[in-house]
Structure 1
Amino acid sequence: MLTDWINKSNVRLINRAKDWHSAVALSVQPLIDQNAVESRYLQAIFTMHEQIGPYYVLGEGIAMPHARPEEGVIKTALSLVIVSEGVEFGSEDNDPVYIIFALAAVDSHSHIEMIVSLSKLFCDEEAVNTLKLAQDEQEILAILSQF
C-alpha cells in the first residue's frame, strides 16, 4: 500500500514551483531529511536530466525523479509533492507536471511492490485527477490508501 511509504512527513501540497529544479528539490528533500538518500542524490537527478532530458516524466502530469542506487541511496523510500498549478519539465507530451513522486531504491528489486502500487495508481485516471486537485494532505493520503 502506498501509505506504507507516504505519510504526513513526506507529502507536500504547494501552489506553484519556480521551475523543475525547485520542484524536484522539494520532492527529494524529505528523502534527505529521513536519511534515505545523501544530498548528492539530488545532484545526480539534475545531472541526468541535463544529459538526457526529463527521463522521469512518466506520463501526462506525472513525474518520478530518481537516480541510480550508487548515487547516494541509503534505504528505499518514496515522497510526494503535488504542485496544483503544475510545472514545466520540458516533456513536450506530458507537461505540465502536477504529481511528483521522488523515489529512492537501494537495488533493482526491493522496490517492486512499491512500483506495482504506483502503476495501479497511474492507471486509474480518476484517482490521478483527484490527486491532482487535492486540497490537503489528508485528502492525498486517503487517495493513496486505495493503492
Structure 2
Amino acid sequence: MAKDILTKANVHLNKKLNGKEEAIRYTGGVLVENGYVKDAYVEKMLEREEVTSTYMGNYVAIPHGTEDAKESVLETGLSVVTVPEGVDFDGNTVKVLIGIAGKGDEHLEVLSKIAIVCSEEENIQKIVDATSEEEIIDLFNEVN
C-alpha cells in the first residue's frame, strides 16, 4: 500500500538553517528518514539546484531531484520545512521549503497542488506561522 504523501513526520516547523545547501540536505533528509527516497536522492537534489534554482518566489523553494534521480525514489512524498527567519537562496529569502519526490509521473499532480497552495501569499504566511503539523497538512488537503 502506498504511503501518505504528507504526514506529520514529514513536516518540520521553525527550523534554523544556514544556507541553501544545508536547507536542501535537511529537506531531503526528511524524505530519506521517512522512507520515501534513498540517500542518493539528496545528492540529486543538490545537483538540480546547480542546474536551476528551485526558488519559486513568495519565500518558497521546492527542492527536488534531477530526472535521473527517479531510481532513488521509493514512494511519492513531500517534506515541508518552515524557516521563519529565512534562509538565503542566492539572494532570495526562503521561509518555506517543500521537498518533493515523485514515483513515475505522480509528482505532476503533487506539484499542481503545491502551486495552488503557494500561489496565495496568505497561505505562505499560514505555513510560516503554523504552530502544528496538522495546520500545514490541512492546508494542502483543502486543495483537490
1:78 aligned partner: 78
Alpha-carbon offset, residue 69 of structure 1 = 4.9
1:98 and 2:95 correspond: yes
CA RMSD in angstroms comes to 1.9
CA, structure 1 residues 48+138, in 2 after alignment: closer, same or farther (shift >3 Å)? closer
Q: Deviations over 1:97-132 (max 9, x none)?
A: 01111001123x222221221111012221112212
Deviations 1:36-84 (A, max 9, x none): 21111111222332x335x211112101100135322222111110111
Query: Is 1:65 matched with 2:87?
Result: no
Q: Is the 8 A contact 1:69 1:104 kept in 2?
A: no
The one-letter code of the counterpart of 2:126 is: T
1:144 aligns with 2:140: yes
Unaligned runs of 5+ in 2: none
Tell me the percent identity: 24
Using structure 1 for the length normalisation, give the TM-score. Answer: 0.82
Question: In the alignment, which of 105, 112, 115 is matched to residue 116 of structure 1?
Answer: 112
Matched residue, 1:52: 51
Question: Which has the higher mean CA deviation after the structures are superposed, 113-122 or 64-73?
Answer: 64-73
Alignment-derived partner of residue 40 in structure 1: 40
Displacement after TM superposition at 1:12 (Å): 0.1
The letter for the 2-side match of 1:68 is T
Tell me the SS of whatever aligns to 2:56: strand
Write the distance in 1 (CA, Å) between the matches of 2:106 and 2:24.
Answer: 23
Task: Say which SS state the counterpart of residue 97 (structure 1) adopts.
Answer: strand
Q: CA deviation at 1:87?
A: 0.2
List structure 1 runs of 4+ shifted beyond 4 angstroms. none
CA distance in structure 2 between the aligned counterparts of 1:80 and 1:33, rounded to whole angstroms = 13
Q: Partners in 2 of 1:47 and 1:12 — Cα distance? A: 23
Partner of 2:6: 6
Q: What residue in structure 1 maps to residue 121 of structure 2?
A: 125
Q: Is the contact between residue 56 and residue 62 of structure 2 (CA under 8 Å) also seen in structure 1?
A: yes
Q: d(CA) in 2 for partners of 1:48 and 1:111?
A: 15
Show the counterpart of 2:131: 135
Counterpart CA distance in 1 for 2:5 and 2:38 is 18
